[in-house]
A = this chain, B = another copy of it.
Amino acid sequence: MLNISERGAAMPESPIRKLVPFAQGAEQKGRTVYYLNIGQPDIKTPEVAIDALRIIDRDIIEYSHSAGGLGYRTGLTKYYNKLNFNITPEDIIVTTGGSEALVFAFNCCMNEGDEVIIPEPFYANYNGFAKISNVNIVPVTSTIENGFALPAISEFEKLITKKTKAILICNPGNPTGYLYSKEELETLRDIVKKHNLYLISDEVYREFCYDGKKHISIFNLDGIEENSIVVDSISKRYSMCGARIGAFISKNKKLMSTALKYAQARLSPPTLGQIAGEAALETPQSYFDEVSAEYVARRDVLVEGLNKIEGIFCPTPGGAFYAVASLPIENAEHFCQWLLEEFEYNNQTIMLAPAAGFYATKGLGKNQVRMAYVLNKDSLRNAIECLDQALKVYPNRTINKFVKAEI
- A→B interface (CB under 8 Å): 1-2, 4-9, 11-14, 17, 40-45, 49-50, 53-56, 58-64, 96-97, 99-100, 107-112, 114, 125, 128-129, 131-132, 134, 165, 196-198, 226-227, 239-244, 252, 254-255, 258-259, 261-262, 264-273, 276
Contact = CB atoms under 8 A, between A and B. Distances in A.
B244 A271 contact: yes
A61 B268 contact: no
A172 to B, nearest CB: 19
Contacts of A7: 107, 111-112
A11 B270 contact: no
Nearest to A111: B5
Copies of this protein chain in the complex: 2
Q: Which 5 A-B pairs have the closest CB atoms?
A: A242-B271, A128-B265, A272-B272, A61-B240, A8-B258
Given A4-B109, A60-B240, A108-B4, A270 B267 contact: no
B270 A243 contact: yes
B270 A96 contact: yes
A206 B55 CA distance: 32
Contact of A99 (B99, B241, B267): B267
B108 A8 contact: yes
Contacts of A41: 60
21 contacts: A2-B198, A5-B107, A5-B114, A7-B107, A7-B112, A13-B261, A14-B264, A45-B61, A50-B58, A54-B54, A54-B55, A62-B242, A63-B242, A97-B266, A112-B134, A128-B262, A241-B271, A242-B268, A244-B270, A270-B272, A272-B276
A370 to B, nearest CB: 16
B5 A61 contact: no
Given A239-B60, A241-B62, A266 B11 contact: no
Contacts of A40: 62-63
A129 B266 CA distance: 8
Nearest to A62: B242
Contact of A261 (B8, B54, B63, B271): B8
